Chains A and B, each alone.
Chain A
Amino acid sequence: AQSVTQLDSQVPVFEEAPVELRCNYSSSVSVYLFWYVQYPNQGLQLLLKYLSGSTLVKGINGFEAEFNKSQTSFHLRKPSVHISDTAEYFCAVVNNFNKFYFGSGTKLNVKP
């Protein structure tokens, strides 16, 4: 069975500072990895995904994530955050049966 752990429930950061949101997963089979973002009072939107190939994945709004198979991690990074990045971020894995497993979410709070 798959599971996803997001180690930080909340991450406060000042505007223009770098940020890393951590995600670890456990799986006995190959998986595909995703980051979704949820802005206040909205549904989830896809930020980026890792399917295969290059372990560094670039997404929308300047975010990127690196797949590390040996550490079973898929951490999300942004070199300089904006106020508009304030949102909740969810890491997810999906297996070959198209079942998605989500982490508990990390609330990113960008302060001016």
Chain B
Amino acid sequence: SQQGEEDPQALSIQEGENATMNCSYKTSINNLQWYRQNSGRGLVHLILIRSNEREKHSGRLRVTLDTSKKSSSLLITASRAADTASYFCATDTGGGNKLTFGTGTQLKVEL
């Protein structure tokens, strides 16, 4: 079964709006990462948040982590059409750089 479950499964917004995606997981983690996948491409790493961190920023990205609720959220501010992609959370539960990926959120940003 998937360690991470994202919601919503799909999200459609207008350019300039903010997009928020959520990820829930089941077991304790060392860190949680977010990846983006454009159609027909491989995944690209966006940001990593460690289990002892609560919030992290990178450009227009803001990630939060609540280990008590076993959940994380990814906020993309001032979205652009180029942000249209699928977004996945991935959890590192310890040992060997192994990640378990969630089910993904498909984001569509319309002009």
- A and B form one complex: no
A-side residues, CB < 8 A to B, are: none
